Structure 1
Amino acid sequence: MSHVEAVAPTDGGLPPAVPRPPREKFRSTVVLAIFGTILFLPTGILAAIELRRAARARAEGDVRRLRTHLFRGRVWALTSLGFAAALVIVGFGVLIVTANNHAVWTVFFDPKVIADNFGPLLAGFWVNVKLFLVAEVAILVWSVVVAVVRDLPGRPAAPLRFLAIVYIDVFRGLPTMLILLVIGLGLPRTGLPVVSGLSNFESALLALTLNYGAYMAETVRAGMHSVHPGQESAARSLGLSHLQTLRRVILPQAIRNMIPPLLNGFIMLQKDTALVSVIGVVDALSQAQTSANYTASLAPYAGVAMFYLVITIPSGRLSDYLIARNRAKTLGKV
């Protein structure tokens, strides 16, 4: 018969004492704190304070306090190293900007050149804004249609599924610039009704919709597949058709998971609208090229870059917020 041997308690019935942390860990933390103090004094001092407390706890035999203060000391020491690395990078950037009698600042960031050309640059950027606002709606609708067609069940829908797959593979595999050139410069030469009469703006809209629709369709399809299959089974058991199940059950739940990746895709779209100048759309980039040729300065390009950053940075932060909120909901923290 098997039996379990009991471990005799020590020190008057108390469990054995928890072993102290290795001496090497204390020494390594001291070394980190010294480097941290040298490289970035404020957080280095905080690391030294925590090490002093850890040494006091070690002398008193309080293992829990020792480990706590050692951990805090390492965190503050590593924070000092992070601040020091960041300061080195920032200092290197400042050195580049100020080198050679502020040559980089003069060439790229001349405020007078940017101010003199602000009006035309803003007018050109408004064209980009209108383009990506309209394109976002068109892409969203088109991508949902393609994703639904690709997921149609049954043998009768196999030809449509095949066409959807071919479309996604082709337009995901072609560069955006090539699609713009083919549609913006090639279709007008065909003489076909409707497509040959498209304006440059409309050709750019069509090219971006077809290109990004292929990417977004896969994002939408992934969002639809993120919904538990039991939801579809329950809806079908209640007598709903496949399309009714998608509209009333699957898509409403999938939207929450699709918003962050769709928003990231739209941020990429906002930047890629700068490519439409190759087919004759008078946007911010084409205005910047004209201004740069006239002023013999690259500052107009920096002005356009600032316009894009004003749009894309808030969009990126919104995407991060939505991702964090969805994660919190998934973990039950909201």
Structure 2
Amino acid sequence: MKPQKIITIVLHGLFWLAISFFYYSFSSSRLTYTDKNSIFQDVHYTDLQFFIPLLIGNIFKAILFYGNSEVLMKTFLQQKRYFSYLVNFVGLVVMCYGIEIGVDYFLVQVVPPTMPQDAYPPNHFQGIVSLQPAFYLIFIITSFGARFTQDWVQHETEKQYLQQSKLQTELKFLKSQINPHFLFNTLNNLYASALSDGSERTAEGIAKLSKLIRYMLHESNVDRIALEREVAYIETYIELQKLRFAGKNNTVNINFEVEIDAPACLIAPMLLITFVENAFKHGISKQQTSSISIELKVSNQQLSFRVENTVNPFANNQLEEKSGLGLKNVQRQLELLYANKYTLEVVPDKEVFKVNLVLTL
């Protein structure tokens, strides 16, 4: 068990222990007798018929506390389903409060008293009942505080992790990159050389490669980028891949459909390309006809991205492992950048590999 989890359990245990100690102190009384000279006049006792109902009531308050903070708020409130949350929350409060009052009535009114009758204040049951609304209000407020605090800590932890990951990525990039100006000058020279030699296909490939590298180096260093730019990058990548298979005997069918109803959409850069790269790396076979189908639709800020490709039966396990690693990396990015705003479905099959991503932009 992780240290953070142990600390959380200990803190929750101390919280309920403190509540129980408060009940114990609240239930402590002094015996009263008509005879002022009684030797028992100053004896203190714990009123079990006051303490035990409150202690057992912790069960229902715990159900309310954790039901609200761990179930209802996660299921409904964080998903902005406010009406559903309100209905379920009211139902949970009424259920816990009603059952606890019933248990209190049984323990106080039905079970015989543990102390002399004159030791109890009048309206003993009503006294316990009158405390419950204040207790329930405290536990409700505490459950909200616990949930918001836990979410804030998790957000800060993930934010710190993301910052560290960005720094490590940037450091690796700085260590491994070559001078961009030298790179582009070299590509331009190769492009001119290919044209002069009459190799137009090579020149076209160099131009598209230069376009891809320019996007990766200069345009993608932002948190969000226009979706049109990301689509243009994917289209350039697909066109470059088509050049690889032009004029070869094997047939490769590539289809890319785009339907965007809002031109001002923003997305995290380099997020979708991993799925496309996997389709080309592990879905193209030189021995048989291969196909790749890519579909991107955006409606009401909801992005739907589907990639479907034939499976190369001759691909080795190492390629499959690298493909899985790439999908895990992009899934981690989605968790950090689009928490609770995406669904990712990966459907591996012997003949067709499918990926479906739904993302709220």
Q: Report TM bin, short chain.
A: under 0.3
Structure richer in strand, relative to its length: 2
Relative to total residues, which structure has the larger helix share, 1 or 2? 1
Bigger RCO of structures 1 and 2 (CA < 8 A, at least 6 apart): 1
